[in-house]
Amino acid sequence: MKALLSTALLGLVLCSGAAFAKNDNHDKDKNKGKGSLPPGLQKKVDNGGQLPPGWQKKYHKGDRLDYDIYRHGRVVKPIDRDGRITIEIDDTIIHMVHDTREILSILSRY
């Protein structure tokens, strides 16, 4: 009986060892998420500047506009009764749903 109990206890200890293992890579690439910019470019955007062409995200109908880009936009047509708004960002007119920031249409001025 003692042999059976000690074997069972040994089996439980060996099986649970993996649960206590430390994950050293849990915060690796922590800052490399969607929308992360190098500090210099982030400062430029925060001050109202434009990003270089290689860093600009290309948006399409149905995409959700990032909040940082949305708040730097200029309102062309205010929110209507259906919750739609039209804003201008870098010579581009974006017609979108205000609450979700879902893009309905995009017009370029060049």
pLDDT above 70: percentage of residues in the chain:
71
Question: pLDDT digit string (tens) for 53-76?
Answer: 656 667 788 989 888 888 888 999
In this predicted structure, the answer to whether residue 26 has a pLDDT above a threshold of 80 is no
Instruction: Tell me what pLDDT residue 21 has.
Output: 61
Tell whether the model's pLDDT for residue 35 goes beyond 60.
no
DSSP annotation of 77 reads: E
Query: Residue 65, class by beta-carbon neighbours within 10 Å (0-12 exposed, 13-18 middle, 19+ buried)?
Result: buried
Q: What is the pTM of this model?
A: 0.50
Q: How far apart are CA 62 and CA 100, in angstroms?
A: 11
Distance (Å, whole) CA 44 – CA 47: 5
Distance, in Å, from the CA atom of 81 to the CA atom of 57, rounded to the nearest integer, reads 29
Tokens at 42, concatenated:
């982030």
